[in-house]
């Protein structure tokens, strides 16, 4: 865990309360970031040595994951320690920045460990160093989102600690383009909540049913009342999409860079169960209950297990395997869609093979594993292409 030097009560209190805020919101807090405070009277000297603007009030050093702030500056704590520090701990872009900085540090140590060197020596070394060039390119590509997240963090935590007026004074003079970017993130957070904003900015997603329930409530608001039940399924990896399966009236799906909500009406659910459709059965039989009518949910699961396997269900899965293959062929230049439709095509075909043998398999992994050992299927009257 990062070492935190002794601070005055104000900063110590803000640090502890902010960490608790993040723990409650995200399921994690800062663990690797260190904090260093520079007395106000020494800040100009420190800034000059670092080549910083003396009017600045903080800096974050990725190579040793240290936030340096001027004395009791609360907004700098929010910006450097949480806006950059936590970002570099729990965001793939931030982690990559730290990795490149640490790799460069090791290469510099190896280059200069046995001789005296000057700042000019380091600069010349960096001009020829591939890691430094990679780091500089990466910085330039990601500087906007890196700083935008830190400014929004100031906005967020200043609101939590009754310091919003300080934030508004600090950023009152933002240029038009920068102001629009900041306002855009603030508006997003006000419309969809802090959790959605964190996830949309690429922060790690610790997926629990309770946390996803909170996320869905902030996004769907009153429309959540139309949902009969919701399930959390799919990968629990912290940087993968959050996959949610909902059943309710007036289905409204949601697809973003962090959330993928598939929604079915009760009628579609019944049809999906009857036809053993993989897009219904995989989330229904593997999903974790989030909220809603648990009896309705359990009854749907029991219906899956109790109904006989029908020729109609086998044909349905073959038909959709062929349709998905056709969609894949129509999207060969779009890797995302091509792979998506190819995956569905294989899963539908595998399900048809399993059903033909009287087997009920409910995970994509089990289905694909089973299909690798099976012979191609042919129905009475033709092949899968005749099952359209």
pLDDT of residue 250: 73
Which DSSP symbol is given to 134?
A: H
Residue 14 burial (C-beta neighbours within 10 Å; 0-12, 13-18, 19+)? buried
Q: What are the DSSP E strand ranges found in 24-113? A: 34-38, 58-61, 66-70
Beta-strand pair 58-61/66-70:
antiparallel
pLDDT tens for 83-104 read 999 999 999 999 999 999 999 9
User: Taking the mean position of all CA atoms in its chain, how far away is CA 145?
Assistant: 15
pTM: 0.87
Separation between Cα atoms, residue 196 and residue 74, nearest integer Å? 25
pLDDT at residue 9 greater than cutoff 80: no
Q: Which residues is 67 bridged to in the sheet?
A: 35, 60
pLDDT at residue 384 greater than cutoff 60: no
**Ordered strands of the 58-61 beta sheet:** 34-38, 66-70, 58-61
Burial 313-322 (b: 16+ CB within 10 A, else e): bbbbbbbbbb
Separation between Cα atoms, residue 48 and residue 45, nearest integer Å? 5
Band (pLDDT 50/70/90 cuts) for residue 377 is: low
As a whole number, the mean pLDDT across the chain is 91
pLDDT tens for 259-269 read 999 999 999 99
Return the sign of the alpha-carbon dihedral for residues 365, 366, 367, 368: positive
Q: Which CATH class is domain 209-306?
A: alpha beta
Separation between Cα atoms, residue 158 and residue 147, nearest integer Å? 16
Both structure tokens of 14: 């803000």
CB-facing half-sphere around the CA of 256: CA atoms within 13 A: 14
Both structure tokens of 69: 């702030």
pLDDT of residue 4: 52
Tell me the domain boundaries of the chain: 9-200, 209-306, 311-386
Separation between Cα atoms, residue 136 and residue 231, nearest integer Å? 43
Band (pLDDT 50/70/90 cuts) for residue 251 is: low
Which range scores top for mean pLDDT: 40-44, 56-60, 99-103?
99-103
Separation between Cα atoms, residue 82 and residue 153, nearest integer Å? 7
pLDDT at residue 166 greater than cutoff 50: yes
pLDDT tens for 291-335 read 999 999 999 999 999 999 999 999 999 999 999 999 999 999 999
Burial 268-305 (b: 16+ CB within 10 A, else e): ebeebbbbbbbbbbbbbbebeebbbeeeebeebeeebe
Closest CA to 78 of 6, 7, 153, 149: 153
pLDDT at residue 79 greater than cutoff 80: yes
Q: Are 27 and 208 in contact (CB under 8 A)?
A: yes
Separation between Cα atoms, residue 98 and residue 83, nearest integer Å? 14
pLDDT at residue 386 greater than cutoff 60: no
Mean pLDDT of 123-151: 95
């Amino acid at each position: 865990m990062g070492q935190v030097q002794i601070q005055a009560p104000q900063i110590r209190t803000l640090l502890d309360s902010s960490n608790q805020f993040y723990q409650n919101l995200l399921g994690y807090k800062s663990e690797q970031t260190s904090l260093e405070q520079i007395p106000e009277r020494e800040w100009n000297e420190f800034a000059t040595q670092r080549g910083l603007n003396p009017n600045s009030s903080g800096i974050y050093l990725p190579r040793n994951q240290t936030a340096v702030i001027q004395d009791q500056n609360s907004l700098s704590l929010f910006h450097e320690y949480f806006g950059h520090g936590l970002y570099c701990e729990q965001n793939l872009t931030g982690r990559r920045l730290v990795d490149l900085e640490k790799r460069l540090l090791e290469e510099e140590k190896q280059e200069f460990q046995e001789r005296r060197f000057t700042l000019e020596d380091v600069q010349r070394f960096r001009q020829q160093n591939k890691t430094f060039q990679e780091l500089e390119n990466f910085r330039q590509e990601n500087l906007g989102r890196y700083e935008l997240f830190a400014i929004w963090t100031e906005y967020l935590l200043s609101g939590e600690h009754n310091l919003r007026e300080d934030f508004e004074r600090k950023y009152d003079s933002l240029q038009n383009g920068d102001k629009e970017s900041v306002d855009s993130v603030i508006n997003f957070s006000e419309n969809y909540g802090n959790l959605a904003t964190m996830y949309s900015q690429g922060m790690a997603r610790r997926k629990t049913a309770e946390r996803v329930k909170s996320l869905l409530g902030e996004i769907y608001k009153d429309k959540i009342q139309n949902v009969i039940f919701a399930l959390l399924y799919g990968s629990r990896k912290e940087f993968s999409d959050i996959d949610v399966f909902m059943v309710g009236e007036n289905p409204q799906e949601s697809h973003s860079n962090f959330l993928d909500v598939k929604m079915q009406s009760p009628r579609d659910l019944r049809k999906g169960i009857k036809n053993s459709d993989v897009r219904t059965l995989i989330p229904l039989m593997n999903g974790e209950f989030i909220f809603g009518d648990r009896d309705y949910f359990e009854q749907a699961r029991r219906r899956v297990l109790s109904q006989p396997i029908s020729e109609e269900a086998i044909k349905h899965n073959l038909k959709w395997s062929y349709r998905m293959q056709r969609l894949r062929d129509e999207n060969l230049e779009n890797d995302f869609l091509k792979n998506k439709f190819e995956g569905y095509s294989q899963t539908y075909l595998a399900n048809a093979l399993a059903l033909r043998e009287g087997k009920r398999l409910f995970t994509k992994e089990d289905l694909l594993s089973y299909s690798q050992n099976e012979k191609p299927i042919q129905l009475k009257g033709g092949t899968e292409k005749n099952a359209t």
